[in-house]
Amino acid sequence: MIADGKHQSLRIRLSMKFLLLAAALVASASALVMNDDKIKMLIGKEHLDNLDIKTKEMLMMRLLNHMMQPTMYRDIKDCAREFVLEDHLDKFIKPDVVRFFMDTYKMGMLPRGEVFVHTSRKQMEQAITVVKMLYFAKDFDTFFRTCCWLRDRVNEGMFVYSVTVAVMHRDDCKGIILPAPYEICPNFFVNSDVIHKAYMMKMKKGMIDPMLLDYYNIKLTDKNVAIIDSRKGVRHTLTDEDRLAYFREDIDLNTYFYYLHMDYPSWMITEKMDKERRGEVMMYSFQQLLARYTLERLSHEMCNIKPLMLSKTLKTGYWPKIRLTNGEEMPVRMNHKVLLTEDKVDIKRRIDDIERMIRDAILTGKLEMRDGTVLKIKKPEDIETLCRLILGTLHMKDDAKVYHLMTLLKKMITYNKYNVNTYTYIPTALDMVQTCLRDPVFWMLMKRMTDNVVLFKKLLPAYTRDELDFPGVKVENFMTDKLVTFFDEMDMDITNALYLDEAEMKKEKSDMLMVARQRRLNHHNFKLTIDVVSDKTVDAVVRVFLGPKYDCMGKLMDINDKRLDMVEIDSFIYKLETGKNTIVRDSMEMHNMIGDRTWTRKMFDRSLVETLGSGDHTVTEAWWHRARTGFPHRMLLPMGRRGGMPMQMFVIVTPVVKDKLMNLVDMDTMRDRKVCRFTVCMDTLPLGFPFDREIRMAHFFTNNMKMTDVMIFHKDMDTMNGSKMMDMTHMVMKRDDLTYMDHDMLVKSRFRDAFLMDDDHMTRM
């Protein structure tokens, strides 16, 4: 009887929790689309400081909507007209930054309509003046009204860059999730033929020849939503590297890289940022991207990439397939390009000097700067100084010169001297943070940069057994679910790539919603199970790595051969209890993994919420943190192979180490700013531990670590039982050269006779 009563009480409590959760979900869905009239009334008030974070987010979203033309919101226009910037100098912490901006603005800045280029020194100097003005606004009210003033006065790309950096670094903007960069400016994330088809649909208002719609695989719904299939287009292939275009050109991977640079702009040093492991985080992020890229290459039996050699002909070309916002096409770099020309000798000399200086500093253990400062680069904790030096983020006193090695390397690959030094020019894929990952050469640049850190680590002593061991802790078992990858489809809102007509501007809404349907790599969720036995109750840090077992030639790899190819897929703090502990980690719960972002346009249009669902956009601390720093969850695993690709997973459990804190670093600052990438907020062990140094096999394997073999299987769409977001009822498979995987094309079955002709029929024709 007592047991039954307990069960009944438990059922009642669970029922009440379920009802409360359901009520919360209903409330969040109803509040998802905020009444536009309320927003307009808010802007008319004198102060916006006391707004909740959700309302602030809506205000910022309106500023970034349809950036390629003047704002369509009358309240923002009124605010920009009424707010006289020079009359509010007292509302800025540093009034001089406003005066300097106004002087720059009156002298002339990058015109609206031109492309803002991140590698242009002059353009970046102007953007920095804008960022500083926004950053030093005393409160959110001043910050937002300054944004309104800037919205239609400065270059569109410069405005987006400046607002993004300011929002990510201002304390009163914590929790604001800005629209994804591929929604703000879709041109940099989808191919130009998709943009062309969207313009065609816009001009004709969807009244297109049905045969043309079928050929292009464009669907027009009754809600005026045009879905354009990105696969239907001619492949622009130059080299074997284009087999990996689906990985390099993935919109979420490029978004991850974009936000990494927004968190740590090379030019920006604040009191808080100076206490973070910004240099080590950036370089380790490069190394991890290279390791992840290596695993993807192994799926296609392709070998590791090599560092870029400036004195040799560059064999790898790249066809970006990007139409810039000013209508120009991003230039193509053909194969076998000569890098060292007469115009590039000076740049090559500067690169050689800087790299020699860095490598000499690593080998000698010190570096004397021009202002007399001597940098020590000898101990393990000096890695932060070295990384900042390589990245050009080591800002010394007396304005010592900052060495932007990456920018110089990019300039070596641009097309001519005139193109580089002019104020406005057509950028290459390498010139834009949003697009540089798309170019296979950029990965060669990252390899060249990280090799300096690899050299530094080689000179450090290998970890001793005591440094690796965790006395009293033993990993008994380590296993995972079946790992299966596949290609599915995602819908990306590209409406902001198009201009609104006069009627739409008055309605403050586009009549048609343009959607690009893209293929993407994905995998089924999986769980890791780790059995750990401990003789005490203690906090521990668990690190999980995924790495290769065989190289591209099928040779079994030594642990030293593959240590730089180990991808850190998870890291977390776990409280071990005395006895046996069974740790279960779901792939979606892994550290800094982020799922699909919801459409920002759903926040503006209630009909989209009713049609497409509200999506997961609950503003919580965890979601905001992952939206900034999260690696796309669906790209956690490499593609693998149909019959399975053998790989290895490694887990190590270590104590929480906090006594090796570097002089420049403060963990509380990183926690406060929510920049907890990898293990920087967990302990102070080097990033990549224990694979960051060369390994002595006799002292490496201890009881607190374990390596296990895994297989990664790839499932084709024709063998899947219901692909995500795809209706395959009327589809058949077709082999052609228009897709990333030639055996993996779906076409409408009613065109079977037109497209799927047998060889005899083709011969008779």
Q: Which residue has the higher pLDDT, 614 or 164?
A: 164
End-to-end Cα, the chain, rounded Å: 84
What number is the average pLDDT over the span 698-715?
Answer: 95
343 pLDDT exceeds 90? no
- At 673 the pLDDT is 83
Relative to beta strand 513-523, strand 225-229 is: parallel
163: CATH = 1.20.1370.10
732 pLDDT exceeds 70? no
537 and 676 both lie in a single domain:
yes
730 pLDDT exceeds 60? no
pLDDT band at 426 (very low <50, low <70, confident <90, very high): confident
318 pLDDT exceeds 70? yes
Least confident of 354-358, 422-426, 751-755: 751-755
pLDDT band at 9 (very low <50, low <70, confident <90, very high): very low
Residue 328 and residue 200: Cα distance in Å, rounded?
A: 18
Tokens 């930054």, located at residue: 97
H-type alpha helices, 459-578: 465-468, 502-507, 559-562
31-42 pLDDT, tens digit per residue, is 444 556 666 667
697 and 654 both lie in a single domain:
yes
Say if 609 falls within a structural domain: no
111 prior amide bond cis, ω within 30: no
Say if 510 falls within a structural domain: no
260-292 pLDDT, tens digit per residue, is 999 999 888 777 778 889 999 999 999 999 999
Residue 309 and residue 314: Cα distance in Å, rounded?
A: 8
Nearest of 453, 323, 352, 484 to residue 412 by alpha carbon: 352
Which residue segment(s) compose the domain that 760 sits in?
Answer: 727-764
Amino acid at 470: F
Q: 513 in helix, strand or coil?
A: strand
Strand segments, DSSP code E, in 412-550 are 473-480, 483-493, 513-523, 527-534, 538-548
- % of the chain exceeding 90 in pLDDT: 63
Q: Which CA distances in Å does 648 have to 242, 355, 385, 548, 685?
A: 27, 35, 33, 6, 23
- At 45 the pLDDT is 64
pLDDT band at 18 (very low <50, low <70, confident <90, very high): very low
Least confident of 228-232, 327-331, 527-531, 616-620: 616-620
417 and 556 both lie in a single domain:
no
307: CATH = 1.10.1280.10
307 and 386 both lie in a single domain:
yes
Say if 514 falls within a structural domain: no
Q: For the chain, how many structural domains are there in total?
A: 6
Structure tokens at 499: 């201009």
- At 614 the pLDDT is 52
Say if 606 falls within a structural domain: no
Nearest of 461, 464, 584, 480 to residue 523 by alpha carbon: 480
Q: What is the DSSP string of 117-154?
A: -TT-HHHHHHHHHHHHHHHTBSSHHHHHHHHHHHHTTS
- The contacts of residue 422 (CB under 8 Å, 6+ apart) are none
Q: CA 322: distance to chain centroid?
A: 19
Say if 513 falls within a structural domain: no
- At 36 the pLDDT is 60
Say if 607 falls within a structural domain: no
What number is the average pLDDT over the span 693-711?
Answer: 95
Nearest of 294, 649, 592, 633 to residue 485 by alpha carbon: 633
- At 232 the pLDDT is 78
- At 30 the pLDDT is 38
Say if 598 falls within a structural domain: no
Say if 722 falls within a structural domain: no
150 and 215 both lie in a single domain:
no
Residue 542 and residue 534: Cα distance in Å, rounded?
A: 14
298 and 217 both lie in a single domain:
no
Domain end (from 403, 432, 458): 458
Least confident of 119-123, 412-416, 664-668: 412-416
Range picked from 13-22, 250-259, 306-315 for highest mean pLDDT: 250-259
- At 110 the pLDDT is 94
Helix axes 140-151, 121-135, angle to 10 degrees: 140
- At 497 the pLDDT is 95
569-586 pLDDT, tens digit per residue, is 999 999 999 999 999 999
728 pLDDT exceeds 50? no
What number is the average pLDDT over the span 429-444?
Answer: 95
703 and 755 both lie in a single domain:
no
555-568 pLDDT, tens digit per residue, is 999 999 999 999 99
221 and 260 both lie in a single domain:
no
634 and 556 both lie in a single domain:
yes
709 and 583 both lie in a single domain:
yes
What number is the average pLDDT over the span 112-132?
Answer: 93
pLDDT band at 620 (very low <50, low <70, confident <90, very high): low
Task: Provide the mean pLDDT of the chain.
Answer: 84
What number is the average pLDDT over the span 63-91?
Answer: 93
81 and 21 both lie in a single domain:
no
Q: What is the DSSP string of 663-723?
A: TT--HHHHHHHT---TTTTT--SPTTTTSSS---HHHH--TTEEEEEEEEEEE-GGG-SS-
Q: 613 in helix, strand or coil?
A: coil
285 and 392 both lie in a single domain:
yes
182-234 pLDDT, tens digit per residue, is 999 999 999 999 999 999 999 888 778 888 888 888 998 888 899 999 887 77
376 pLDDT exceeds 70? yes
Residue 114 and residue 562: Cα distance in Å, rounded?
A: 45
3-state secondary structure 29-42: HHCCCCCHHHHHHH
